[in-house]
Every structure is written in C-alpha cells, then in structure tokens.
Amino acid sequence: MNAESHGIPKISIATPRGIRGKGNNLKNLFRKVLDMDAKAAIVVEANLRSISPVWIRNLGEPLFKDFAFVSPLYVRHKYDGTITNNIAYPLSRCLYGRRVRQPIGGDCGLSSQMAGIFLKSPLWDEDVSQFGIDIWMSTLAVNEGLPVCQAFLGKPKISTTKPKDPALDMGPMFRHMVVTLFNLMNAFTNKWTTTKWSKPTAIFGVGISDVEAPPALKVSKDRLYMKFREGFNTHWDVYRTLFSSENLQKIREIASLDLDHFEMPVPVWARILFDCAIGYRRKILDRSRLLEVLIPLHYGMTLSFVNKTEGMSHHQAEEFLEDLCLVFEQSKPYLIYRWDQ
C-alpha cells in the first residue's frame, strides 16, 4: 500500500483473520469488482519481478474491446510449469476445445460480467478456495459462452523465487488443481463429451518472436527417474484397480526402461490421466490416495518430456507440446467411451 499510485485511489482487500487461500481472496475481489461496477479488473501475482506496463495494458485492454476473460501468455523455460505442460493445458484443451496455453498462469484480466459469473457459480468448493482457483476460472470462462482471449506479455514470468526443479516434491497446488479439474469434468460432462477438436484462442499483444529468454532451470533427471520407480514399486497393486489392462501392460514396459532411454508415449500418458479422472468419478480409490498414485507417474512423464526435448530450442519444445496436445484430442474417444460405463 506504500507504492506510489500517482493520485489513483488504493484499496486493500483481505480475507478475515483465520481464512486463508488464494481463491478466497480472489472471491473478495469479485465482490469488489461488482460493488464498483468496474469495467476491468487485472490480477497479477504478488511475487513478480518481471511485471511491466505492457502486462497491464495487454491484460486490461481486451476488456474494453468486449472480451470477458484474458488469460496470460508468456515465455517460460521449457521445463518450468510441468503441471501446466503435462496436465492442465493438454487436458483442458482436449476437454473443452479451446487452446488456452496457460490455464493456471495466475495472472489474468476479467470483466464485471465475468466476476459476477464467478461469484454466483455453485461449483465453488474448498479446493477452489485455495490453489484450484486458476484452473477453475479458466474452465468457467471457456464454458460460459463469453469472449475469451490470451494476452501476450513479452517478458518471461520471473518471480522472487527461483524456478523450481520439476523433480522437487509436489506442493498443495498440484492436488488442488487436479481435484478441481476432475470435479469440473463432472460438472461440464455434457459440454466436453460433445466437443470435438480444439480451436485457437485469440492473442492480444505483440508477436511471439519479440521475447526475452527465460532464466535457466536445472532438472534432476536422476531424481525424476527414482521417484517414478519408487511409485511404480509402491503402487503397482493400486494400478491394477485403476488402469485399463492395456495401460497396465504399457506402464510395466515403461518401468523396465533405463534412465537415458526412458520414454512414456503420449497416448499412454493421456489414457493414464483419463483413467485417473474416471477413477475419481467412480470413487474407485480414496481421492487423496488417487493423487498419491498420479504424482510419480507425472514425474515419469516429466522425465520423458525432458529426454525428448533437451536438445530442442524453446520454439521446438512448444511445437512438440502442441503435437502432444493433438494426441490427447485424438485419444479423447477412449475417455468418452469409458466415462459412463
């Protein structure tokens, strides 16, 4: 609140004492947007070091051109944001048919109309009130029929904390995001089961060539491999209740590979996520146990992505990821067929 605002009024919004969670605080913002009848609201994460005036312009200006929700688009290191690359982007794109590259980016713009939809939604729950809020906002935005776009922000997203080695332990964000994504699959079944293929989402701002290089990021391949192997050995009996027989055989074959030749074929990874979503829906496992089972497989997919792309440029890795997403879309009939079996 001590920052210079050049005469623009400042308002502090906070959750009551004892109430925590990113989603809870954003819910306060939605209320304030409606109270003020604001034309535009821009959300940026508090620990950013790379924010510039371009960010504010590109996140905000589309809201004055009849867009209701603006998702961020920034350059990240190819191994930064593995939850986005492995799960959030390919799965949400496959389900809802919109190519929103950073559905859990954390920064966004929204209109008063969108804030009202968020505030009135019956789909709010404890995971949304925490770190599930980002995938929740993105998913509601693309399913409510209002115009959505992406804002290219130029600079890489750099925070006060260093980019995390993707082999480090998963924090609560993974669990909140996956649970929210799976819950929304149940809520929007009628929409995603009738959606075929994806379409581009408009991009506001400069071209993708006008970028800065993201900061370096070290990946511990040995640790990724070890965590995948430990999960395989620990959870094999659970795999047998959760995954289709075809997937079980593929996972067994993958587990026999050494580190340097490790590869998880994308169709197998897509079906793993589909089977987990189905298992979550049917309550085959305790939901917290299901997430414990998924995390080592996520490490395996991350290692596979690293092995495939470590010699690639950023642009080449992005093209590889786009091909990965297309495989998810091609595999979607498997999910639809098994969803209500």
Specify the range with the lowest mean pLDDT, choosing from 13-27, 67-81, 112-126.
Answer: 13-27
pLDDT-derived band of residue 15, with 50, 70 and 90 as boundaries?
confident
Q: Examine the pLDDT at 163 and tell me if it is beyond 90.
A: no
**Domain co-membership, 249 together with 180:** no
Q: Examine the pLDDT at 135 and tell me if it is beyond 60.
A: yes
Q: Which residue has the higher pLDDT, 177 or 76?
A: 177
Q: Examine the pLDDT at 167 and tell me if it is beyond 90.
A: no
Across the range 287-310, mean pLDDT stands at: 96
**Domain co-membership, 169 together with 231:** no
Q: What is the pLDDT of residue 154?
A: 79
Q: Which residue has the higher pLDDT, 208 or 280?
A: 280
Question: What are the DSSP calls for 59-95, one per residue?
Answer: HHGGGGGT-SEEEEE----TTS-HHIIIIIHHHHHHH
- Specify whether the CB–CB gap between 67 and 43 falls below 8 A: no
Q: Examine the pLDDT at 1 and tell me if it is beyond 70.
A: no
Across the range 268-277, mean pLDDT stands at: 98
Q: What is the pLDDT of residue 207?
A: 59
In 3D space, the residue among 328, 316, 314, 233 whose CA is nearest the CA of residue 274 turns out to be 328
**Structural domain includes residue 134:** yes
Q: What is the pLDDT of residue 257?
A: 98
Q: In the structure encoding, which two tokens stand for residue 175, read together?
A: 């669990």
**Domain co-membership, 199 together with 241:** no
pLDDT-derived band of residue 210, with 50, 70 and 90 as boundaries?
low
Residue after which a domain boundary falls, among 171, 204, 237? 204
**Domain co-membership, 116 together with 182:** yes
**Structural domain includes residue 82:** yes
Predicted TM-score of the model (pTM)? 0.94
Across the range 182-211, mean pLDDT stands at: 89
pLDDT-derived band of residue 10, with 50, 70 and 90 as boundaries?
confident
**Distance (Å, whole) CA 75 – CA 54:** 14
Across the range 89-96, mean pLDDT stands at: 99
Across the range 224-233, mean pLDDT stands at: 97
**Domain co-membership, 335 together with 186:** no
**Domain co-membership, 186 together with 250:** no
**Domain co-membership, 268 together with 189:** no
**Distance (Å, whole) CA 270 – CA 214:** 28
**Structural domain includes residue 210:** no
**Domain co-membership, 233 together with 192:** no
**Domain co-membership, 45 together with 189:** yes
Residue after which a domain boundary falls, among 157, 177, 204? 204
**Domain co-membership, 172 together with 236:** no
**Structural domain includes residue 28:** yes
Rounded to the nearest integer, the mean pLDDT of the chain is 92
Q: What is the pLDDT of residue 19?
A: 84
- Coil, helix or strand for 120? helix
**Structural domain includes residue 16:** no
**Domain co-membership, 198 together with 242:** no
pLDDT in tens, 36-71: 999 999 999 887 777 888 899 999 999 999 999 999
Question: Looking at the chain, how many residues does it have?
Answer: 341
**Domain count within the chain:** 2
In 3D space, the residue among 157, 114, 163 whose CA is nearest the CA of residue 136 turns out to be 114
pLDDT-derived band of residue 162, with 50, 70 and 90 as boundaries?
low
Q: What is the pLDDT of residue 209?
A: 52
Across the range 109-119, mean pLDDT stands at: 98
Domain holding 39, by residue range, is: 22-204
Q: Examine the pLDDT at 282 and tell me if it is beyond 70.
A: yes
**Domain co-membership, 195 together with 266:** no
Residue after which a domain boundary falls, among 142, 169, 204? 204
**Structural domain includes residue 131:** yes
CATH of the domain at 192: 3.90.550.10
State the DSSP code for 159. B
- Specify whether the CB–CB gap between 76 and 190 falls below 8 A: no
Q: Which residue has the higher pLDDT, 97 or 205?
A: 97
**Structural domain includes residue 109:** yes
